Structure 1
Amino acid sequence: MPDMAVHLEEQQDPAKQEALRKRNIAFRLNLLFFATFILFSVLVVNLAYLQFVRHDEMKARETSMSSFSTLIAPIRGNIFDRNEYPLAYTESTQSLFFRFEPGQDKDYIVDLAKRVADVFATYGDPDAKPITAEEVIRRMDVGFDLDKKPTKQPGLISRPRRIKEGLSQREIAYFLEHKDEMRGLEITEESIRKYDPNTIAVQLIGYLREFSTASNQTASYLERYRQPNAEYLPDEYVGFDGLELMYQDVLRGKIGRKTYPINAQGRIVGQVEIEYPEKGNNLILSIDKDVQLAAEQAIEEHLEWLRSPEGKKYNEKGTEAVAGYAVAMEVATGHVVAMASIPDYDPNVWRGGISQEEYAEIQWRIANGAIRERYADLPDEERGRHPTSLVPPGSSLKPLSVLIGLNEGLITPTERYHDTGVFVYGRDQSRVRNAGGRGYGSLNATSAIRHSSNTFMAAMIGNRLYMSSKYDNPLDVWDSYMKQFGLGVTTGSGLPGESAGDPYYYKTAETSSKQA
């Protein structure tokens, strides 16, 4: 009982009860402060983690939600001949763009389109094709026409739309002076590709087309434009063939960027930030303009001569020739100083888009027949009756044939052969004849080349190579020499679409015999 009395006494003691209550409050406050400290520490750690560890990720997410970037195409580098004569060059131009801004209703946009068309008509080039208000609002891509009737679904609201390139100085002055009245218009510097009007080596140099066109092609050499990370403007002109394509990355330069702040509706709400593009590098070729023009002129004059009465006396079939190709190289260096493919065309036709009629007119002249197969520029009903640019080497192969014979020990330099004008071989008595069936009598290797004797090459080299027992497959021996002289293989130039040629002798062996 005494213990219980003491306990009751403590419970009834007000001073002790107050002390106990204060201890409980202090404990709870300490617990609260400790919990707050823990929570605050966790918050600080998380903030530090986001700030230092995930900074780039958060910044990118913030940018994607609050801004929109458009690319600025760089000024393309120029292409010169070996003496720095410009063959393809870029000229700067000022282009007019439209972009959506808050407060632009349909009435304002229609009035703006009409006013822009009036400016073009008043201050633009009087010799240029006029751009109507209907065309202006179509290029503005707003989703309706001048009557405010719906058209096609517009593209991204935040993407500027090109209305016109190549503004005149008077047009530029007017738009800059009235920019506060014509909200949504901006002038941007762009570049236009031009080619020498003398059409110098046009197939070798190549041409440009819009990225939106290039990226939709299936050709393997245009695969770079189909990559998901390719940063190009849809209407940016890119290399589509020739050196323009081969050196696309060198000539293009570095892309620029405009970053616009936008709201949740995708409308621009602030000042643009600009990262300026860097101009592309220039390209100096081994091509010599004067040699190139001489080669092109020589082909054109020879084609004209073949069609003349005098040419018909020499070769009647030559009167139907419509194309010619030539490559000139420096013997000491291997540099190509001319590469001609005739007929050619004016590649400036690609600038600003090409109509179906214009393409139909040049489609058989675009390919470089000096490095790939090209069909004759003739009507469809006649084209199949003419050879392509891929033809057998003919008598130009005779010096190489003699070299094979000498190197393989099939003939000697002084060995004689009696040329009767015909050589008979095989079980079926197949025949090889000289041109016109003419016999040249006693020949050695040198005189056989001089007279272009088909029978000497067949009897003394081809047939002996076939009959020799030291070769498992004489065609492989022949083919190895062809490839050493660059026949049946690409040159290694890297030019897009280059053909390795056609080792037709393997097909002949399958359809006839190895001896043939």
Structure 2
Amino acid sequence: MVDKKKKKKVVLPYRLNILFLLVFLFFSFLILRLGVIQIVQGEQFLQQVERSGEVIVENAVPRGKMYDRNGKLLVDNDPSYTITYTKMSDRVNQYDTLELAQKLIKYIDVWDYQINRVTKRDKQDYWILTREEKAIAKITEEEKSQLKNDEVYKTIIERITEEDLQEITSDELKLIAIKRELDFGYAYAPQPIKNNVPYHEVARVSEHLEELPGIDIEMNSEGTRSYPYGNQVLKSFFGKVKEIPQEELQYYEVRGYARNDYVGVSFLEEHYEDVLRGQKGKEIFVIDKSGKILEKKETIQGKRGLDLVLTLDIDLQLAVEQVLDEELTKGMAYDKNKFMDSGYVVMMNPQTGEILALAGRVYDGNNFQDVALGTITKAFEMGSTVKGATLLTGFETGVVRAGEKIYDAPIKFPDGTPKKSWKNMGLINDFSALEMSSNVYMYEIAMRIADYNINTNVQKVSNAEAYNTMRKQFHQFGLGIKTGIDLPMEATGYEGPVTNVTKLVDFAIGQYDTYTPLQMAQYVSTIANGGYRLKPYLVKEIKESGANDAFEKIVHQTTPTVLNKIEMDEEYIKRVQHGFWLVVNGKQGTANYYFKGKQYDSAAKTGTAEVFVRDKLDGYYIRNTSGDLIESVNATMIGYAPFENPEIAYAVVVPYADDGAVNKYIGSRILDVYFELKEKRAESIPVSSE
């Protein structure tokens, strides 16, 4: 018994020793592991604990470029220097940006537009920062104890007088402009402080970057555009690129833009903003609780904007502008043309709607300036060029028959108003009415639509119905309605008030409602192609380009769009086509002299509209020394060529052209340059764009 008990006492301590050893080893392992965590991996785990999240910094990319239909560069990106500021923390306050602005202003000047953007609130905030004692004196101790901090500040703002703000000097105003830009920035996102920085300022700032925390100098190719053919060639149509306007900031921010982004603000740049803007590059950073960047997690490469290939032919455009300059110069030499100073031309493909040239020129007293925008924004009385639409309206409504003869002689309305053609033409049919440009033939159509008898002064159709009938037919050709061109701000022209039949007959000869040069080009194209109103367009293709502008692929290709088919017998359109052909080729055609001996066969219609001269600035009528309105003439012309299978249509408008035949010379010469260019290209002869 005794021996067995002794054996048990020996075994029990042995097992405990084993247990103690295991416990010792386990705790030794824990201590060792804890040491590794604290000493070896402590900094790594500490950073993970301190991480508060990620920030994404977006980097701008170049905008897409614009080319003409033959691949010639029209709009490029012009790299320039930009001074930027990046807040490296959300904890940057007003005093920090004021101190930085005071340093930066030593090395750069401020653009006038930046000073003009300084608001009254900007001045008030600055006044409080720099005149603290005066600011505090604006509020009593009792008010301080009763009001919250934000209410105290608001009260001080309200009590700052205009006299207080007048203390701010012009130098301080520049400082406020810089501070304002610094305050606008978001944390970790570069905020442009000054664009298009002169090189001498770049050099000065570069030397002092160490004392300018957050300031950097970047090459900017996002917002600065250059035009290889100069600022006077179609720049108004290309549009402008600017920082997002304040009034549109919310619109763009919900679409993913930053407040300091550049956007297209007019015409092609605006209309195709989504295409031209590109996809920004992104850098993802990990930050700690204080806002300090710990590491860059990821870089996502950006993609520059897509390119626009326009329908325009820059060689034709330049040639047309030269024709305008030369013919306007000749026309302005006539004494009677003292108010003539501008002209407009639109050339388009009547089979597709592609715009090949849009030219507008105005003489400013020294040089000719580009006003091509007027081809879609300015409307004029177009005169006899609308007679094709009037004749087709007569055919379609059944008030006149194809081939019907009407006697052309002066008429007089019962109220004494006389109406006549430029000469007495006698008994003429519809062909002759177009060839010689009869007013009386068109008057008769309008009076029949109103069911008006000039001898008895009885009218059976209301004026409203008669006007509506004619305008509805004109709309089929694009006259008086938008053409549908891929540009904003297109004008539709002016509709005169519904009055009486006397004005209705003026409407029938193009001396009442007004139309744009583009509407006239669409109208004549509709006649040229047999009755299809095509949507005019400026963008032929949208393409993606790779490195060094190497072509990669076509993203979109515009196809012709038929807006409507003219609802009338095709034979009617053919009769008008033949009448237009007679204008150029008939013995009595009003444009016969100007197209003799041409190598191409064309059709056209000339026009003159009697108008009163308006002031270019305010639009009011000008009066002579006797107080009478000054009369003048708009000289117009439309046409197309070749007569069979037409490939080019055009419209010419020259306001206030009292003497000469400037519209006909322009019409003839622009067709000449079109076919000359075509011949040179067919023979592979290089075309100069100079």
Distance 1:410 1:263, change over 3 A: same
Whether 1:335 aligns to 2:354 is yes
User: Can you list the C-alpha shifts for 1:423-454, whole angstroms capped at 9, x where unaligned?
Assistant: 224x434332234xx32233222222222221
Whether 1:418 aligns to 2:403 is no
Match of 1:207 in 2: 240
Distance 1:164 1:344, change over 3 A: farther
Q: Between Structure 1 and Structure 2, which shows a larger proportion of strand residues? A: 2
2: CA distance, partners of 1:150 / 1:182? 15
1:495 pairs with 472, 478, 487, which one? 487
Match of 2:499 in 1: 509
Whether 1:371 aligns to 2:376 is yes
Distance 1:257 1:321, change over 3 A: farther
Whether 1:73 aligns to 2:73 is no
2: CA distance, partners of 1:264 / 1:83? 56
Letter in 1 for 2:406: Y
The Cα shift of 1:111 comes to 9.1
Whether 1:404 aligns to 2:393 is yes
- Contact kept? 2:104, 2:212, Cα under 8 Å: no
1: CA distance, partners of 2:233 / 2:434? 35
Q: Secondary structure at the match of 1:278?
A: coil
Letter in 2 for 1:321: M
Distance 1:212 1:322, change over 3 A: same
The Cα shift of 1:496 comes to 0.4
Distance 1:168 1:477, change over 3 A: closer
2: CA distance, partners of 1:181 / 1:431? 83
1: CA distance, partners of 2:193 / 2:59? 16
The Cα shift of 1:236 comes to 2.6
Q: Secondary structure at the match of 1:501?
A: coil
Distance 1:332 1:160, change over 3 A: closer
Match of 2:447 in 1: 463
Q: Secondary structure at the match of 2:350?
A: coil
Whether 1:322 aligns to 2:341 is yes
Matches within 5 A, 1:22-421: 66-93=53-80, 95-101=82-88, 109=100, 113=104, 117=107, 131-132=108-109, 151=176, 154-156=183-185, 158=187, 159-165=189-195, 183-191=213-221, 192-198=224-230, 199-213=232-246, 215=248, 226-259=251-284, 268-271=292-295, 274-309=299-334, 312=335, 316=336, 318-343=337-362, 368-372=373-377, 389-420=378-409
Match of 2:137 in 1: none
Q: Give TM-score, length-normalised by structure 2.
A: 0.47
Q: Secondary structure at the match of 2:241?
A: strand
- Contact kept? 1:238, 1:248, Cα under 8 Å: yes
- Contact kept? 1:87, 1:200, Cα under 8 Å: no
- Contact kept? 2:287, 2:294, Cα under 8 Å: yes
1: CA distance, partners of 2:284 / 2:239? 33
Identical aligned residues as a percent: 26
User: Can you list the C-alpha shifts for 1:190-228, whole angstroms capped at 9, x where unaligned?
Assistant: 313112343322222222222135726xxxxxxxx7255
Letter in 1 for 2:357: A
Letter in 2 for 1:369: G
The Cα shift of 1:100 comes to 4.3
User: Can you list the C-alpha shifts for 1:264-307, whole angstroms capped at 9, x where unaligned?
Assistant: 67x54444565442100000011000111222223333332232
Please say which of residues 159-168 and 410-419 is displaced more in the overlay. Answer: 159-168
- Contact kept? 1:423, 1:458, Cα under 8 Å: no
Runs (5+) with no aligned partner, structure 1? 1-61, 118-130, 217-224, 346-363, 373-388
1: CA distance, partners of 2:504 / 2:98? 80
Distance 1:180 1:489, change over 3 A: same
Q: Secondary structure at the match of 1:495?
A: coil
Q: Give TM-score, length-normalised by structure 1.
A: 0.61
2: CA distance, partners of 1:304 / 1:251? 39
1: CA distance, partners of 2:320 / 2:100? 55
Letter in 2 for 1:464: R
Please say which of residues 252-261 and 232-241 is displaced more in the overlay. Answer: 252-261
Letter in 2 for 1:295: V
2: CA distance, partners of 1:150 / 1:485? 58
2: CA distance, partners of 1:247 / 1:157? 27
- Contact kept? 1:90, 1:194, Cα under 8 Å: yes
2: CA distance, partners of 1:440 / 1:282? 56
1:443 pairs with 421, 424, 428, which one? 428
- Contact kept? 2:85, 2:214, Cα under 8 Å: yes
Runs (5+) with no aligned partner, structure 2? 1-49, 131-170, 453-458, 507-690
Letter in 2 for 1:327: V
1: CA distance, partners of 2:361 / 2:503? 37
Distance 1:512 1:413, change over 3 A: closer
Q: Secondary structure at the match of 2:242?
A: strand
Letter in 1 for 2:418: R
1: CA distance, partners of 2:394 / 2:472? 14
Match of 1:481 in 2: 473
2: CA distance, partners of 1:307 / 1:467? 44
Please say which of residues 87-96 and 333-342 is displaced more in the overlay. Answer: 87-96
Distance 1:416 1:366, change over 3 A: closer
Match of 1:123 in 2: none
Please say which of residues 72-81 and 190-199 is displaced more in the overlay. Answer: 190-199
- Contact kept? 1:100, 1:268, Cα under 8 Å: no
Letter in 1 for 2:412: V
Letter in 1 for 2:75: A
Q: Secondary structure at the match of 2:84?
A: strand
Please say which of residues 194-203 and 150-159 is displaced more in the overlay. Answer: 150-159
Letter in 1 for 2:104: A
Distance 1:271 1:110, change over 3 A: farther
- Contact kept? 1:211, 1:232, Cα under 8 Å: no
2: CA distance, partners of 1:101 / 1:76? 27
- Contact kept? 1:72, 1:233, Cα under 8 Å: no
- Contact kept? 2:100, 2:212, Cα under 8 Å: no
2: CA distance, partners of 1:248 / 1:501? 27
Letter in 2 for 1:423: I
Q: Secondary structure at the match of 1:371?
A: helix
1: CA distance, partners of 2:198 / 2:493? 49
The Cα shift of 1:393 comes to 2.1
Count of aligned positions: 381
Distance 1:467 1:340, change over 3 A: same
